[in-house]
Structure formats: structure tokens, C-alpha cells
């Protein structure tokens, strides 16, 4: 798309949707743990005591109780591994969960009559093996070793066939290989296991967008956004999901919708660099050169070595020059 501003041509560069396996957010981003406690019959356990303990070198301890749906949530958590314990009368259970900066972690604790925290250690140890496999998969994916990542995620699934997050991660690895059929199957399996899992819908949106199936992409992305916001995440939702929704809207030519989504991503996380960059592109499209320059400057500050850093720096210089030239041509009246 090309737009003329003050007689000059402004090229707008095509946006591409990023896979959302493990998007690195700033270290200051805070995560959360959201969970539900169920008994061995699958019924929610109301009023269960929840203890969340950080497993790092700093003592962090949180206590709460499940609500009338058997659910609990703790926000404002630093990245790291946490032990989550649920207890009520003679019911008890324990698991380990990994929180990554700015990303929600979800857990289901199953407690049984006569159980104890000690009895739950075996299950926690198995969960730790699942997490180890997932971490290996994510490291391989980040290193571009997508086949190794797929092996690791399948290993995690072999240890826990109900690990919806493992299927979502597997889908993301297949996205990197452009094996969209297998990616779609993995994301749909994650949704089958957890119908309200926004990351899986966001993953579906990514593959539909890559295949130019923009209507399907928009539907999946809207569902991801709806679930992310309704999930009560700090800051009003998952910024990566809003970002992906904005990219899909932009690619479909829905510039106003794209702008709203990028603004929502920034509201959820002001340090979301890619959203600042894409909002800058939208503002260029609107003819708001000063605003666009500001967004590109924000991007450079947040991601000086980011994939769009060189382009953002060049655009800042170009836009400031255009603004300066326009000011000389159209001086402000003095009276």
C-alpha cells in the first residue's frame, strides 16, 4: 500500500504475523497463575486453601482460597518455578508450574480423599519432567532447531497427554516449519483439551493469516482476544494476542481495527515494542507523521537490536525531515 503525503510517496511495508511460542517480553513484565481445584470426580472444590511458593533463591509465599467455582488466581508474579499446593480437610494435592514474564500460567489441581501433600510428590515429579521437556523444546525452537523442538514437545505430550500447553507449543514449532496442517491439528487438540485457551486460538490465527485465510484468522484472533481479556490478566489481556489481532486486521485492510488492537496491546504492556512499531505504520497510513515518528522512537528505545530497529531509525529520520520541510513550506501565521 502506498500513500501520498504532501506530494511525497510513503511506502507501507507488509506486516507478517509472528508465531507465539515464546515471545520474549521485557524482564519487568509480571506473570500470573490461574487455576482450578477439582476432586477425583471432577467437581470443583470450594474454599480450598491454596499455597503458592516460589522455588528460587528468594522467599516468596502467597496464600488464598478457591472461590465458589473452585478457582483461584495470583497476579504480579516474577518469572520462575512455583510450587502450588491445594488443601481442604483430608483433600490435598501439589504441582509445579513455570511462570514466564508477562505470560499467564494455568494449572488444574486434582485432590483426592485421604490424600496428602507428600502423596502428591510423585505427580509433581512427573510434572517437573514435563516442564523439563517443554523447556528443552522452547530452547530448541528459539535456536531454530525446529525438528528437535517437535521431538521435545512430543516427549512432553507422551508424559502428559492432557497437556494442552504442550500441544500449543507443538503447533508453534510446526508453524516455524510452515507445516500448517500439522500446526492446525496441534492447536485444535489444545482447544479440545481446553476450550478457553486463548494462546491456541492465537496460534490458529497465525497459520490462517500466513495462508491468507483472513476471515478465519480474524475469527480465531477475536476469540483469542476475548478469552485473554475475560481471563482477568493484569493490564487488560495478553499483549501478544492483541498484537497478532492487529496484524491480521492490517493484512485484511482493516486499518482502524488494526490501530485499536495495537493500542490495546500497548495498554496491556507499554513495553511491547512490536506493537509500537506497527502502530507507527498505522499512523503513517493516517498521515500523522509526528505521531508515527514518536512510535518508531519508542520502538528503538525498547528494542535497539530488534528486527525492525534499522527500519525504525530510518523512518524516524525520514519523517522528521518531512515534518521539517512541511514546516518551512507552511509557516505558522504570526498575526
pLDDT digits (tens, 9 = 90+) for 29-52: 457 899 999 988 889 999 999 989
Which CATH superfamily is 120-193 part of? Answer: Tetratricopeptide repeat domain (1.25.40.10)
Alpha helix (H) ranges present in 177-272?
180-193, 198-210, 214-230, 239-251, 255-268
Q: Tell me which range, 54-63, 122-131, 186-195, 219-228, is most confidently predicted by mean pLDDT.
A: 186-195
pLDDT digits (tens, 9 = 90+) for 127-149: 778 878 888 888 888 888 999 99
At 115 the pLDDT is 52
At 85 the pLDDT is 85
More confident residue, 27 or 117: 117
Domains 34-115 and 120-193 share a fold: no
Rounded average pLDDT over 187-197: 89
Rounded average pLDDT over 261-269: 87
At 149 the pLDDT is 92
Contact 171, 191 (CB under 8 A): no
Banded model confidence at residue 334, pLDDT cuts 50, 70, 90 = very low
Half-sphere exposure of 298 (CA within 13 A, CB side): 19
Q: Check: pTM over 0.75? Answer yes or no.
A: no
At 99 the pLDDT is 81
Q: 142: which residues sit within 8 A by CB, 6+ positions away?
A: 22
At 276 the pLDDT is 93
Percent of the chain exceeding pLDDT 90 equals: 27
Chain mean pLDDT for the chain = 78
At 189 the pLDDT is 94
Is 80 exceeded by the pLDDT of residue 313? yes
Rounded average pLDDT over 78-93: 82
At 252 the pLDDT is 76
Alpha helix (H) ranges present in the chain?
121-142, 146-159, 164-176, 180-193, 198-210, 214-230, 239-251, 255-268, 273-286, 289-302, 309-329
pLDDT digits (tens, 9 = 90+) for 315-331: 988 888 776 666 655 55
Where along the chain do its domains lie? 34-115, 120-193
Secondary-structure class of domain 34-115 per CATH: mainly beta
Amino acid at each position: 500500500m502506498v500513500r501520498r503525503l504532501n506530494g511525497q510517496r510513503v511506502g507501507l511495508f507488509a506486516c507478517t504475523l509472528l508465531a507465539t511460542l515464546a515471545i520474549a517480553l521485557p524482564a519487568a513484565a509480571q506473570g500470573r497463575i490461574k487455576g482450578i481445584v477439582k476432586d477425583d470426580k471432577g467437581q470443583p472444590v470450594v474454599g480450598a486453601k491454596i499455597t503458592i511458593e516460589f522455588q528460587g533463591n528468594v522467599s516468596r509465599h502467597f496464600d488464598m482460597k478457591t472461590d465458589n467455582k473452585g478457582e483461584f488466581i495470583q497476579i504480579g508474579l516474577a518469572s520462575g518455578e512455583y510450587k502450588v499446593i491445594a488443601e481442604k480437610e483430608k483433600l490435598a494435592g501439589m504441582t509445579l508450574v513455570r511462570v514466564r514474564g508477562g505470560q499467564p500460567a494455568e494449572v488444574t489441581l486434582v485432590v483426592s480423599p485421604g490424600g496428602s501433600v507428600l502423596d502428591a510428590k510423585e505427580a509433581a515429579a512427573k510434572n517437573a519432567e514435563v516442564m523439563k521437556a517443554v523447556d528443552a523444546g522452547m530452547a530448541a525452537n528459539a535456536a531454530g532447531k525446529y525438528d528437535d523442538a517437535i521431538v521435545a514437545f512430543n516427549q512432553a505430550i507422551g508424559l502428559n497427554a492432557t497437556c494442552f500447553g504442550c500441544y500449543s507449543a507443538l503447533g508453534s514449532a510446526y508453524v516455524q516449519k510452515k507445516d500448517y496442517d500439522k500446526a492446525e491439528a496441534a492447536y485444535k487438540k489444545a482447544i479440545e483439551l481446553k476450550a478457553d485457551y486463548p494462546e491456541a486460538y492465537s496460534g490458529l490465527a497465525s497459520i490462517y493469516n500466513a495462508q491468507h485465510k483472513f476471515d478465519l484468522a480474524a475469527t480465531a484472533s477475536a476469540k483469542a482476544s476475548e478469552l485473554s481479556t475475560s481471563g482477568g490478566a493484569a493490564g487488560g489481556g495478553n499483549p501478544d494476542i492483541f498484537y497478532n489481532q492487529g496484524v491480521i486486521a492490517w493484512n485484511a485492510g482493516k486499518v482502524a481495527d488494526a490501530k485499536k488492537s495495537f493500542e490495546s496491546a500497548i495498554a496491556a504492556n507499554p513495553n511491547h515494542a512490536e506493537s509500537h512499531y506497527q502502530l507507527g505504520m498505522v499512523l503513517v497510513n493516517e498521515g500523522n507523521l509526528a505521531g508515527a515518528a514518536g512510535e518508531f522512537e519508542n520502538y528503538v528505545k525498547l528494542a535497539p537490536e530488534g528486527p525492525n530497529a534499522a527500519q525504525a531509525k530510518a523512518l524516524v529520520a525520514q519523517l522528521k525531515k518531512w515534518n521539517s520541510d512541511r514546516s518551512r513550506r507552511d509557516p505558522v501565521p504570526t498575526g
